[in-house]
Amino acid sequence: MEGKPSIFRKEALEYHQHYRRQEGDVLLLAPGWTRWTFWVLVSMLAVGVLMCLVGTVSEYAVGPALVRVEQRRDVMAQSAGVVASVEVQPGQRVAAGQLLVTLQTEEERSALVRVEHEMELLLVRYMRNLSDQTARQALTTLRAERELAQARLEARSLRAPVAGVVGDLRIQPGQYLAVGTLAASIVEDDASAYLLALLPGYYRPFLRPGMPLRVELDGFRYEYRELTIESVGEQLIGPGELKRYLGPDLADTVEISGPIVLVRAPIPSRTFSANGRVLGYFEGMPARVQVAVRSEPIFVAMIPGLKVLFSHDD
């Protein structure tokens, strides 16, 4: 009907009249980038499947650790008293016999002065009369008393037992020290260090000497060091036994729950580098460690039921 609008576009009618013998094609609305995106996704899927088939995933034993320093000599208070002075500082190098700490000595010094004064009087008396046997015997007795007084006075001074570096100093002037109290520690010049790792006990069957141990010192995040396990404890120990093993100084520095196994790894050097600075390891320095104990294919880890197919009985 003339004047009635057509439902077809003018361009479509002209194309049909001009190419009557040719069929049209499907209208493509998708942009061109979808074609290569499809193949990229297919390639990524293929790579992922291949990785699952040939790749492996490891299981790690993770736990806290402490740096222990060998050839470390502790200086204990031999007698009770109040600290009069501290002659050294942590990190200071000292010689064998060097004075570290002195305790108040008024009583011991007064006793020594009294004995020496009595000896002087008796010595004058004896020199006037060499046949005075009473004075001679009294001098012998006073000499013994003087040696005892000197020993008591010397016990009020704590000295370095060996040459080395002051590694720990826990006292200050005015502090009261009981007999046997740790006053300071001296680390010998040629002392070595090792790492004591506390790993979960159920990993004990998988641990053995020679395995690599990855270490991250507390305070030095993402700065990892590799050590080699030297020995693995034969028995598992609990929190109570660990505290007794570490002693009162380090017992509260780590927290564990459940049985653990002790793993030892030597540290090749007493120093390490961090942010361009050379620093030293010290007794009780905390760290975190991990060691790869076993691995399995990725697809087995994703589908645990497949472990039955890949397990072998001895």
- Among residues 269, 267, 259, 261, the alpha carbon closest in space to that of 293 is found at 261
Are residues 238 and 97 both part of a single domain?
no
Look at residue 46 and tell me if it is in a domain: no
User: Averaged over 151-163, what is the pLDDT?
Assistant: 77
Average pLDDT, the chain: 79
Look at residue 218 and tell me if it is in a domain: yes
pLDDT at 109: 64
Helix (H) or strand (E) holding 214: strand 212-217
Cα 152 to Cα 193: distance, rounded to the nearest angstrom: 36
Please count the other Cβ atoms lying within 10 Å of the Cβ belonging to residue 112: 18
Cα 220 to Cα 287: distance, rounded to the nearest angstrom: 9
Look at residue 280 and tell me if it is in a domain: yes
pLDDT at 34: 74
Are residues 233 and 198 both part of a single domain?
yes
pLDDT at 50: 81
pLDDT tier at 314 (50, 70, 90 boundaries)?
Answer: very low
What is the domain range of residue 255? 57-70+192-303
Q: Which two tokens stand for residue 45?
A: 């899927």
pLDDT tens, position by position, 113-156: 777 767 777 777 767 776 767 767 777 777 777 777 667 666 67
pLDDT tier at 108 (50, 70, 90 boundaries)?
Answer: low
Are residues 219 and 280 both part of a single domain?
yes
Cα 161 to Cα 96: distance, rounded to the nearest angstrom: 6
- CA 224, 221, 239, 234: dihedral to nearest 10 degrees? 0
Look at residue 207 and tell me if it is in a domain: yes
Look at residue 48 and tell me if it is in a domain: no
Instruction: Tell me the CATH number at 83.
Output: 2.40.50.100
Q: Which two tokens stand for residue 200?
A: 């979960």
Q: Which two tokens stand for residue 131?
A: 């046949």
- pTM score, whole prediction: 0.61
Are residues 197 and 165 both part of a single domain?
no
pLDDT tier at 20 (50, 70, 90 boundaries)?
Answer: low
pLDDT at 28: 55
Query: What is the tally of structural domains in the chain?
Result: 3
pLDDT tier at 63 (50, 70, 90 boundaries)?
Answer: very high
- Among residues 291, 282, 289, the alpha carbon closest in space to that of 91 is found at 282
Residues near 156 by beta carbon (within 8 Å), at least 6 away in sequence:
79, 81, 102, 103, 104, 105, 108
Look at residue 39 and tell me if it is in a domain: no
Q: Which range, 151-160, 184-193, 220-229, is most confident? A: 220-229
Burial 81-98 (b: 16+ CB within 10 A, else e): bebeebebeeeeebeeee
Are residues 86 and 176 both part of a single domain?
yes
Are residues 294 and 197 both part of a single domain?
yes
Q: Where are the alpha helices (DSSP H) in the chain?
A: 10-18, 33-54, 106-128, 133-154, 239-246, 298-302, 307-310
pLDDT tier at 208 (50, 70, 90 boundaries)?
Answer: very high
